[in-house]
Structure 1
Amino acid sequence: MSENPVDPGQPAAPPPPPPQDHHQSGVAAQERQWAMFAHLAAILGAILTSGIGGWGTFLGPLIIWLVKKESMPFVDDQAKEALNFNITVAIVWVVLWLLVFTFVGIIIAVPGFLITGIAWLVLTIIAAIKANDGIAYRYPFSWRLVK
């Protein structure tokens, strides 16, 4: 047993564990962070551009996917997931906008916009949190258009 140089009567404390690059999920910290950014980029895109259902919501996930798909498999998966979900929401919003031009459509479209918008925000935040935890999140209502 080695002696503690500060207090010669005490044994030395064990060395700290080496820093770990991987989370308990087995996904590297940098990959988890980029995957989280892929989901959150949709919210940023909605703020900076035309809102939910607009082109800005899928531009961020698309850029992250194109840049990181070859080097980070977890980011590839999660960015595609975010991209597909935001394209799906954009399609739903286009249909709702088309319904606005009919009398009955207004009754359907207004609550549809509200429900879709809240669901989009909640599911995007959940996806970002899961991705940061290293868990591959699957949106419940999403067409897998980008494979």
Structure 2
Amino acid sequence: MDRHLRPNKFTDRALQLLLMVQRWLPNRSVVVADSSFAVLKLLAAARDTVCIVTRPRLNAALYDPAPARASDTKGRSQLKGALQPMFTQTLASATTLWHEAMLSQWYEEGDKTVEFATGTAIWYRATLPVVPLR
């Protein structure tokens, strides 16, 4: 046994599995996963083939999309825009627009009404790929 091999990460194996399932079932493109799959490298690698629905970290730094670059500027274009409020600030804000949806057959409770807020953002961290979120 070679002791110099590094172990595979959970997210590396998950990406392999997601790509295999996408190849086997090309018409199915949405995967629902728990928060352990909310990893920038995994989401960035799978974003062109599979849509992953997961709960991001509550302290994730989310940004507005990068503004359009003027044609007469020098240097590389921006990767991100302004910083958005944290999830905890959005929850506490009185200006957050909440929507309601009815979920039928909620375990043994029957129908259940849930409230949610939605928006778009860019999840960015230095040296890692940029991932668009909704």
Q: TM-score, normalized by length of structure 2? A: 0.28
User: TM-score under structure 1 normalisation?
Assistant: 0.26
Higher relative contact order (CA 8 A, sep 6+): 1
